[in-house]
């Protein structure tokens, strides 16, 4: 594969346009306010609105199909092909639109805290706040406000022309005016038609999910932390957006490695990013103090309603979207581990938000169950995370990160199985969803209970407790966990109608069995699934 150079995004690429490189945080905030892109909240954060699109647009993501990468890709609904000719047309339109702006903003940095496995990334955007978003989410290549003239040969280039609305998108191979178009050979991403900043971060995660396996590194959609006083006590939390990765990894009793994207190499785990991207709907200082305190000058609030008089953010309001977000550098978490690297995990936790309300809140998985539940990646899409999602929807997302996987899910599942076997990690399934009934009837598990389960997992308390086996899913459920009511541990005991519970559980089990047919699983792994 070719390597992009900074010539692709330097001033010569956009003649007559002021290209402002690697501005300081203060300068980017000032530029965003000057340009009307955002306002300062009372807590110092920059409050921005992403416009019509307030979540990711996975249906509008396309990958250039070339002979060099064709056989590596799991083509389908997630990995939609676009021809090289149409990629050229989208790129030309984006460059022409960017060239018509008065000024552009460029950020240079890294994806990957481990220098042995990092990529150089350049982001060019028409909006200052998008450059600030990149500055908070990636690892800065230069000290704050430096690097305007320094050479930087990028491995990956993102051209963010989010304000461009293509008049005839079908003529360039797109479904709509929105397009996130990526090329693994050109090592370039073109964004048009959407100002949602999460597309910037996820496009580079997608790139790492392609590149890292070829280097023998397992890329993971997970958060990670480590005990303050025990570097061998590393934990991973896999899960889709809204299931608790950020909340549960921001633990005052442990050091945060990262909240969303990691690699697992022969040396241990490392954060792919330099910042955190947390949901903040219903955020409170009491419930999530670490995230609350991280929201200050240098962070970015997306689509959060702010009182125009007091300038105080209203985290309870979903008037714009349920998918309100905050972005901040990882070092804004007081107990962040810098550099963001750790050893091999002792515990691996799969997070699922079960909208059916039937899975137990915590269970330990056998190696076969670990493979089964990882490949199926069951959870619920939560409101606002993707366009058109207004309430939780049952969802199977391979490896708890299906939208970001260019290769076959079995590639990533095999890498996880190999590492669990090699390093003896224990694997757990933690349900952060509903109990006592499905969504709309039951209640969501209390965060205090979930935190208790995590503490007991990480201190080893659940390793040898008495368990009962779920009759349908075959999961081992603790009989008692200190600090949690016993009846919560067996979901059938929280439902007012046991027969209704069994019907609902059987329905979900059938969905698992239907979904597993997509994968080439061994008989042993299939036996780790539900009993229907």
Q: Map residue 174 onto helix, strand or coil.
A: coil
Is 486 in the active site?
no
The runs of H, that is alpha helices, within 329-404 are: 367-376
The runs of H, that is alpha helices, within 231-338 are: 245-249, 289-294
Contact 175/139 with Cβ under 8 angstroms? no
d(CA 490, CA 498): 12
Query: In this structure, what token pair is assigned to residue 109?
Result: 């940095």
Is 363 in the active site?
no
Active-site annotation holder among 203, 246, 247, 435: 246
Is 83 in the active site?
no
Scan for tokens 């190499």, then name that residue.
Answer: 265
Contact 67/402 with Cβ under 8 angstroms? no
Is 56 in the active site?
yes
Q: Which residues contact 424 (CB under 8 A, 6 or more apart)?
A: none
Say which DSSP state 73 is in.
Answer: S
Active-site annotation holder among 241, 247, 340, 494: 241
H, E, C per residue of 388-400: CCCCCEEEECHHH
Active-site annotation holder among 54, 106, 186, 221: 221
Active-site annotation holder among 56, 118, 135, 381: 56
Contact 432/353 with Cβ under 8 angstroms? yes
Contact 481/363 with Cβ under 8 angstroms? no
Scan for tokens 């552009």, then name that residue.
Answer: 104
d(CA 403, CA 490): 32
In 3D, which of 235, 278, 239, 240 has the Cα closest to residue 254? 235
Is 325 in the active site?
yes
Is 246 in the active site?
yes
Residue 381: how many other CB atoms lie within 10 Å: 21
Is 221 in the active site?
yes
Active-site annotation holder among 201, 325, 364, 444: 325
Handedness of CA 146, 147, 148, 150 (dihedral sign): positive
Is 95 in the active site?
no
H or E element, residue 363? strand 362-365
Active-site annotation holder among 201, 245, 279, 419: 245
In 3D, which of 237, 317, 298 has the Cα closest to residue 26? 298
d(CA 379, CA 432): 9
Distances (CA, A) of 190 to 156, 230, 273, 277: 11, 43, 20, 21
Catalytic residues: 56, 202, 221, 241, 245-246, 260, 325
């Amino acid at each position: 594969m070719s390597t992009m150079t900074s010539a692709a995004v330097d001033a010569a690429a956009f003649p007559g346009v002021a290209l402002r490189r690697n501005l300081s945080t203060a300068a980017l905030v000032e530029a965003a306010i000057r340009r009307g892109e955002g306002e300062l909240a009372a807590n110092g954060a920059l409050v921005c609105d992403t416009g019509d699109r307030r979540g990711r647009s996975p249906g509008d993501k396309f990958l250039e199909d070339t002979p060099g990468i064709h056989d590596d890709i799991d083509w389908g609904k997630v990995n939609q092909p676009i021809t090289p000719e149409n990629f050229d047309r989208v790129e030309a339109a984006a460059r022409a639109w960017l060239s018509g702006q008065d000024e552009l903003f460029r950020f240079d940095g890294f994806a990957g805290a481990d220098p042995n496995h990092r990529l150089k990334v350049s982001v060019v955007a028409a909006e200052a706040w998008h450059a600030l978003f990149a500055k908070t989410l990636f690892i800065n290549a230069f000290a704050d406000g430096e690097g305007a003239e320094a050479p930087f040969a990028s491995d990956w280039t993102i051209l963010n022309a989010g304000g461009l609305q293509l008049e005839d998108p079908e003529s360039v191979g797109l479904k709509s005016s929105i397009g996130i178009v990526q090329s693994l050979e050109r090592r370039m991403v073109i964004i048009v038609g959407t100002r949602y900043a999460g597309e910037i971060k996820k496009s580079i995660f997608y790139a790492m999910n392609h590149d890292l396996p070829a280097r023998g590194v397992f890329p993971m959609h997970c958060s990670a932390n480590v005990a303050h006083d025990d570097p061998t006590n590393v934990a991973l939390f896999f899960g889709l957006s809204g299931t608790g990765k950020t909340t549960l990894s921001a633990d005052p009793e442990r050091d945060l490695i990262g909240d969303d994207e990691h690699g697992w190499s022969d040396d241990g785990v490392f954060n792919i990013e330099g910042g955190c991207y947390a949901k903040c709907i219903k955020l409170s200082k009491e419930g999530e103090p670490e995230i609350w305190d991280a929201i200050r000058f240098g962070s970015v609030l997306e689509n959060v309603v702010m009182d125009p008089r007091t300038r105080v953010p209203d985290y309870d309001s979903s008037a714009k979207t349920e998918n309100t977000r905050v972005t901040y550098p990882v070092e804004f978490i007081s107990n962040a581990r810098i550099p963001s690297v750790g050893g091999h995990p002792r515990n691996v936790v799969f997070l699922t938000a079960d909208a059916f309300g039937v899975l137990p809140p915590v269970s330990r998985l056998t190696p076969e169950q670990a493979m089964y539940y990882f490949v199926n990646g069951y959870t619920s899409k939560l409101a606002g995370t993707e366009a058109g999602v207004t309430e939780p929807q049952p969802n199977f997302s391979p490896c708890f990160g299906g939208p970001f996987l260019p290769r076959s899910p079995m590639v990533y599942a095999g890498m996880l199985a190999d590492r669990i076997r090699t390093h003896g990690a224990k694997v757990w399934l933690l349900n952060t969803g509903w109990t006592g009934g499905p969504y709309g009837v039951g209640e969501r598990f209390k965060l205090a209970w979930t935190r208790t389960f995590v503490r007991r997992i990480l201190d080893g308390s659940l390793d040898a407790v008495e368990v009962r086996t779920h009759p349908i899913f075959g999961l081992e459920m603790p009989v008692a966990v200190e600090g949690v009511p016993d009846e919560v541990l067996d979901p059938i005991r929280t439902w007012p109608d046991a027969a209704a519970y069994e019907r609902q559980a059987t329905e979900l089990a059938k969905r698992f069995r239907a979904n597993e047919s997509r994968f080439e699983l061994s008989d042993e792994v299939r036996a780790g699934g539900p009993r229907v």
